Amino acid sequence: MHLVLVGISHRTAPVELRERIDFQARGLEVSLRALAQRAAVREAVVLSTCNRAELYGVSEDPNQGGSAFVDFITDFHKVDRQALQPHVYQVADLDVARHLFRVAAGLDSLVVGEPQILGQVKEAHSVAGANHVVGPFLNRLFHSSFAVGKRVRTETGLGSGAVSVSFAAVALAKKIFGDLKGRSVLVVGAGEMGKLTALHMKSQGVHQVTIVSRTMAHAARTAEAIGGASAAPWEELDPLMGSADIVITATGAVSPILTKAHIETVMRPRRNRPLFLIDIALPRDVEPAAGEIEQVFLYNIDDLQATVRENLARRASEVARAETIVGEEVDKFSVWLRSRGAIPTVVALRQRFDAVRRSELDRLASTLPADVRERVDDITRLVVEKLLLTPTEQLKTLHDAETIGLYSEALTRLFGLTSLQAQGADSPSQKSESASDAEQRSDRGDRRVEPFVRPQKR
Amino acid sequence: MNFIPLALYTFALLAYAWHFAQRQKTSAHAATTLLVAGVLAHTFVIGMQTMQAGQVPMTTPASAISATVWVLLLAYLYIEMTTDERAMGAFILPLAVALQSIPAFKPAIEDRAAVLQGPLFSVHVLSLLFAYASFALACVIGITYVLLFKEIKAKHLGFFYARLPSLQVLDSMNQRAIVIGWLFLTVGLFVGWIYATQTGYDPSVRAMSLHDPKILMAVLCWAVYSFEAFAARRLGWGGRRSAYLSALGFAIVLLNFVPISYFLTTSHNF
């Protein structure tokens, strides 16, 4: 079995193509159901965000599986294959793991280290799980990717620091005031920039947003657009500044409307209660010297942008550490993946032992009372489990294909497993119940494994 | 015996510093575990000394410092466990290690004079120990406030910005520590005064007046913290000014605790 990935992302495809190949818009469940119809694909997860569309799957032949994925994309989205091909990347096995781990860590994101992607990866896996199209391979792969995402976020600074001006302003406000709930925001100016920043503040749960503008009608309109905000006339600027915690200035004035002396007057009755002044106007609305006043924290648009640049640079410096973590986790996954080579032999061996046990039990059935038979059934099952525990563990610790082959060959000859092994290697949907049970027992590390069940409509 | 908690506190200090710099979960758990082990060992040491002397050791400068460190670290552990905030540990542990090295390297035998008995004496000493531990906390919190304040004001959002809680949280923690410390200091001084008037027969007690540097400094300390508590509420002297006053107040406490207690006091030498 091979892991296969086919996809496009912001690195390989223009936005026009990404817009067309949007599985989220068509519905992930619909996409998964359609994908599950493809015979070459055994497990599938669709990861669809505004910057990427990726299909993860398991296939017996990686080329055939990849080709099936490309066919699916062209058919499902009605895209010309020739137009799509140059933008598609297709990888297999450990490269799939490396790619997904980098995606989950935020290393492959447009803004490196952005936190949303890990949630999107989890969501993609969850939807696939709910639709019964993931099995042991993708379960293990995706759970490993969650662990990578978490490790990178806790052990490196890749996700730290705001990387947009609005986020930088909110992060600063939180560093000054702690929780923003119960805080009041005053927006001076009724323009678009002020409105956007106020909206961002509001989404953080600030108690009150007030808009002040020289034209009351503009203020009222902006307040209405924000929703839950209030408008006030220009004459109330000073008293409102006296009570506000955060003041955002975004007027079109050609010279500063708030001088140091003006703010000193406002600060007096506040008794040095902190005031966070965010001046996002150009030219600036607040005299720079106002930042010298005790408990006045003045940041203009350049300061916020510089903060964003510093954060981006800091994130970039953490990339190497994050890549090291990804490498370590790929190695761990590789060990697990190689150990999967012994699974058919383990399954066949268990089936063989269980078949012998059952046949002996059936032979004795007529001579034993029902309760005794039940007891003997339990005891013999336990004996078989215990006998097979060590060989199972030993087989699963084998990491190179050659040794696995030698062991499998020896076991096959010793116990006559050939026919059973073939049965064990069948598709999960075609397995007999006992084979499935045996595999579950042989791979107890995958407790969250869901059986891969194809939709009935085939 | 005081070396065991000192060693554990030193290891905890290293772990807290490592955690502050690297912010790794493993170092965080190691730091807390080492500190808890240190506090437990310290409790055991104080318990053993109590059994040995037949009373809680707190009358010699060394034992008073040891008890203050113990209370300080218990208070810190309480804050850490209720807020899951470990950044302060990197600032409190150096102070704790420095103070704890005094009883470790210069132990004193607890031989309590007959006059130092009774509930009033215990209330007097314990109140002051709690007060000093609170002031130590306030000082450390104040220092971290100033460090973060300067970064935000200078618009260089770096090392402390990424690691310390918000200015508002630090300021309110500082204020709370000051008020609690001030209450204990007031009770401690008042009870001490009552106790001195009741036991005026002892020559050391008779020597107690504002001329004794230890008492003078304690009263000065009370004045500084009273002003700080008043100014924060009435004059809006919170934030950085309050942090500076916390540092000044604790400098007086340290002065009183170490050089004055050991060399200059004329009345508190039983």
Over residues B207-215, the mean pLDDT reads 72
Please give the residue of chain B at the shortest CA–CA distance from A175. Answer: B166
pLDDT of residue A444 exceeding 90, the answer is no
Over residues A56-65, the mean pLDDT reads 86
User: Bridge partners of A43?
Assistant: A58
Residue B52: what pLDDT? 80
d(CA A381, CA A368): 17
Q: Write out pLDDT tens, residues B24-46.
A: 778 888 999 999 999 999 999 98
d(CA A139, CA A145): 10
CB A264: neighbour CB atoms within 10 A? 14
Residue A126: what pLDDT? 93
pLDDT band at A79 (very low <50, low <70, confident <90, very high): confident
Pairing of strands A296-300, A275-279: parallel
Residue A420: what pLDDT? 47
Residue B206: what pLDDT? 62
Residue A272 has its nearest CB partner, among B166, B168, B239, at B239
Residue type, B151: E
pLDDT of residue A160 exceeding 80, the answer is no
Nearest-CA distance A263 → chain B (Å): 16
Pairing of strands A246-249, A275-279: parallel
Pairing of strands A246-249, A184-188: parallel
Q: Write out pLDDT tens, residues A351-385.
A: 889 988 998 888 888 888 888 888 888 999 999 98
A272 touches chain B (CB under 8 A): yes
Mark yes or no for CB contact A172/B239 under 8 Å.
no
**DSSP class of residue B200?**
T
pLDDT of residue A410 exceeding 50, the answer is yes
Angle, in degrees to the nearest 10, between helices B89-105 and B119-154: 140
Over residues A117-144, the mean pLDDT reads 91
Mark yes or no for CB contact B167/A177 under 8 Å.
yes
d(CA A152, CA A325): 7
Q: Which chain A residues are Cβ-neighbours of B158 within 8 angstroms? A: 310
Nearest-CA distance B255 → chain A (Å): 30
* Placement of tokens 């209405």 in the chain: A224
Name residues 360-419 of chain A within 8 A of B (Cβ): none
Number of H helices and E strands in chain A, helices first, is 19, 10
Any residues with CB less than 8 A from the CB of B88 and at least 6 apart, and which? Answer: B76, B79, B80, B140, B141, B144
Q: Six-digit token pair at A95?
A: 């490269």
Mark yes or no for CB contact A274/B152 under 8 Å.
no
Q: Write out pLDDT tens, residues A9-45.
A: 998 988 888 888 888 888 888 888 888 877 677 888 9
Complex ipTM = 0.79
Q: Six-digit token pair at A425?
A: 């290697």
Residue B114: what pLDDT? 61
Q: Write out pLDDT tens, residues B99-130.
A: 888 888 876 665 666 666 677 787 888 898 88
pLDDT of residue B259 exceeding 90, the answer is no
pTM exceeds 0.80 for this model: no
Residue A431: what pLDDT? 37
Q: Write out pLDDT tens, residues B4-26.
A: 899 999 999 999 999 988 877 78
* Angle CA A206–A211–A212, to nearest 5: 140
Nearest-CA distance B159 → chain A (Å): 11
Active-site residues of A, by number, are 50
Q: Which chain B residues are Cβ-neighbours of A274 within 8 angstroms? A: 167-168, 239
Mark yes or no for CB contact B25/A154 under 8 Å.
yes
User: Bridge partners of A2?
Assistant: A59
